[in-house]
Structure 1
Amino acid sequence: MKGNAGLVCAPGPQEVQQQMVREQYTTTTEGTLIERPEDQCVYKIGIYGWRKRCLYLFVLLLLIILVVNFALTIWILKVMWFSPTGMGHLRVTKDGLRLEGESEFLFPLYAKEIHSRVDSSLLLQSTQNVTVNARNSEGEVTGRLKVGPKMVEVHSQQFQISSKDGKPLFTVDEKEVVVGTDKLRVTGPEGAHFEHSVETPLVRADPFQDLRLEAPTRSLSMDAPRGVHIKASAGKIEALSQMDIEFHSSDGMLVLDAETVCLPKLVQGTGVPSSSSQRLYEICACPDGKLYLSVAGVGTTCQESSQVCL
């Protein structure tokens, strides 16, 4: 038989013991004839030679790999600062995860709430932009805040800024913009520019500053259901126009209540000579609202100077 497992025709220990027992029994019992069993072949099975050396080498290699893996595991645990409470600066608490120091995230971060410590601020920094998304249960983006290098974009149905007590200070939606503060201050040198109508109960300048309402290329209109009140407590009011200035009252009268009312460029009526020595005039009005001067008399002289209205 080829190989290391050879065929040896020799009695084994058990056969030798059985043979001795039979011989002893034969000697003690005369007259009996017992046939001796023929010799049996015993197979020896094992690994010998180069196969045995390869097996020992393989076992030694496995032991070396096991020791190296164990050493690497210990090194990783030490380098990454693994502990029963977390890893490195990351701590696992009953309220969630606590991260101390600066951290860099290479992929999206999903969290229900992110806040800093009481004695420090929260800083989100990126070389490109910082984007915060809000999603619904189906995974669709319902709100987005994107802070880029040149612009801050907010995509939402409504944008609101509230005070610490919950009072809305600034609210924007598709229909209107609401400013909830007591005073809206515009500090730009060009003021505020409105392309459409503005509704407000009060327009007032800062102390010792002039208030100007100006329409460079169009008309300026001020409407109020219960009247428009224009007041200058420590200055004058000027109304300048390239075309006409109209004061219209649908149900009432126009009152100019002042110590002196000056109309320096009124047209003088032609019905009465202007060389009158009285130098007293009365103000007359045409049916279309045009004003003109007429020399005063005992009675009204407006009808005599009504040719101005023609």
Structure 2
Amino acid sequence: MVREQYTTTTEGTHIERPEDQNVYKIGIYGWRKRCLYLFVLLLLIILVVNLALTIWILKVMWFSPTGMGHLQVKKDGLRLEGESEFLFPLYAKEIHSRMDSSLLLQSTQNVTVNARNSEGEVTGRLKVGPKMVEVQSQQFQINSKDGKPLFTADEKEVVVGVDKLRVTGPEGALFEHSVETPLVQADPFQELRLESPTRSLSMDAPRGVHIKAHAGKIEALSQMDIKFHSSDGMLVLDAETVCLPKLVRGTGGPSGSSQRLYEICACPDGKLYLSVAGVGTTCQENSQVCL
């Protein structure tokens, strides 16, 4: 700030000004001014670069008033067009595809879908891996279009709700424990085999067991014994011909008998054998077969 001294003079009066006057200048001069201009220029450059980067990001990410790229924001939720990649977990209440396309979830490792309660604990999990599909839940159920349960599995039982369960494997079906079913049948022109390689095979029913072969024969093979037991009734062999080819024959018989007639004898333990028929029964004479 320049300080000036004003002196009133009159005409004819000469007053000399003092040579030493104190002058004060306002502003920034020298190296300070150059540093300030450099700092302002640097801020301007940063502002321009930030603006350019913002415009580039908006262009690359396809930002629009309705969303970002293939992702559109609507009143009822988000709509995603095309293929997208999620690097972190995705939380959603409902995920469904368009009406004219299917929903595809794909991963190089596995796809896991978790259901959690209000406390954050996992109550159900579906894990699709490269070698196995794993489901962890209290109950697993598959329904048809009309809501009919087709397959249900829990800790106690497995229920198949379809009218017919077909096993197409060449080795058939393997059951480690008992099986309860009203009907077991083979495909047309195919054989039905019930086999227990190392244990026994038992068929029980409160009102009887019916075994039918309309166009073939029935064979029962066993390494040990085959037993037919009726607790309240009798055993009926109703056929045109009943053959016992390997039935043990009794020894001896009436001398001079030329007729090749035999009678069937029974041991106390139920064993059957043949004895040469005579005028009377010869079972007692050949009872040594029962020993």
TM-score normalised to structure 1 length: 0.80
Higher alpha-carbon deviation: 272-281 or 210-219:
272-281
Contact 1:270–1:307 under 8 Å retained in 2: no
Deviation at 1:38, TM superposition (A): 19
User: What is the CA distance between 1:231 and its match in structure 2?
Assistant: 0.6
State the Cα deviation string for residues 84-129 of structure 1 (Å, max 9, x = none): 1100000111221111111111111111111111111111111111
In structure 2, distance between residues paired with 1:173 and 1:255: 43
Structure 1 residue 37, shift from structure 2 partner: 18
CA apart distance, 1:178: 1.4
Structure 2 CA distance, aligned partners of 1:25 and 1:42?
15
Relative to structure 1, is the Cα distance of residues 90 and 24 closer, same or farther in structure 2, using a 3 angstrom cutoff? closer
Say if 1:120 and 1:140 are closer, same or farther in 2 by CA, change over 3 A. Answer: same
| Aligned-partner Cα distance in 1 for 2:53–2:4 | 67
Gaps of 5+ in 1: 1-19
Query: Max radius of gyration: which structure?
Result: 1
| Alpha-carbon contact 1:90-1:97 (below 8 Å) kept | yes
- Partners of 1:26 and 1:32 within 8 A in 2: no
The answer as to whether partners of 2:253 and 2:277 remain within 8 angstroms in 1 is no
Q: Tell me the distance in 2 between the aligned counterparts of 1:268 and 1:158.
A: 61
SS at match of 2:3: helix
Preserved CA contact (<8 Å) 2:152 2:159: yes
Shift of 1:299: 5.8
Cα distance in 1 for partners of 2:149, 2:65 equals 45
Q: What is the CA-CA distance between 1:54 and the residue it aligns to?
A: 2.7
CA distance 1:267–1:141, change in 2 (3 Å): same
Asked if structure 1 preserves the Cα contact closer than 8 Å seen for 2:2 and 2:23, the reply is: no
Q: Secondary structure of 1:121's match?
A: coil
Is contact 1:145-1:155 (8 Å) kept? yes
Distance 1:117 1:25 in 2: 91
> Relative to structure 1, is the Cα distance of residues 274 and 175 closer, same or farther in structure 2, using a 3 angstrom cutoff?
farther
Aligned CA distance change for structure 1 residues 139 and 26 (closer, same or farther; 3 Å): closer
Question: 1: distance between equivalents of 2:26 and 2:3?
Answer: 29
Q: Which residue of 2 aligns with 1:225?
A: 206
* Cα distance in 1 between the residues matched to 2:31 and 2:4: 44
Root-mean-square deviation (CA, aligned residues, Å) is: 4.5
Q: CA deviation at 1:172?
A: 1.6
Report the secondary structure of 2:167's partner residue: coil
Q: 1:23 to 1:34 in 2, by over 3 A?
A: farther
Moved more, 82-91 or 289-298: 289-298
Q: Is residue 285–residue 292 contact of structure 1 (8 Å, CA) maintained in 2?
A: yes
Give the distance between the partners of 1:23 and 1:241, measured in 2 at CA. Answer: 136
Q: Say how many residue pairs are matched.
A: 291
Q: Are the aligned partners of 2:263 and 2:277 in contact in 1 as well (CA < 8 Å)? A: yes
Contact 1:274 1:295 in 2 (8 A): no
Deviation at 1:192, TM superposition (A): 1.1
Which stretch has the larger CA shift, 276-285 or 257-266?
A: 276-285
Match of 1:5 in 2: none
Instruction: Please report how far the alpha carbon of residue 34 of structure 1 lies from its aligned counterpart in structure 2 after TM superposition.
Output: 21
Q: Tell me, what secondary structure is at the counterpart of 2:2? A: helix
Q: TM-score, normalised by structure 2?
A: 0.85
Please give the secondary structure, in 2, of the residue aligned with 1:24: coil
Distance (Å, rounded) in 1 between the aligned partners of 2:271 and 2:108: 68
Task: Give me the whole-angstrom Cα distance separating, in 2, the residues matched to 1:295 and 1:183.
Answer: 53
- Residues 271 and 306 in structure 1, CA contact (< 8 A), matched pair in contact too: no
Percent identical pairs in the alignment equals 93
Structure 2 residue aligned with 1:192, among 173, 184, 205? 173
1:300–1:67: structure 2 CA closer, same or farther, 3 Å change rule? Answer: same
**Contact 1:271–1:307 at 8 Å: present in 2 too?**
no
C-alpha change, 1:40 and 1:179, in structure 2 (3 Å) is same
What CA distance in whole angstroms lies between the structure 2 residues aligned with 1:251 and 1:42? 138
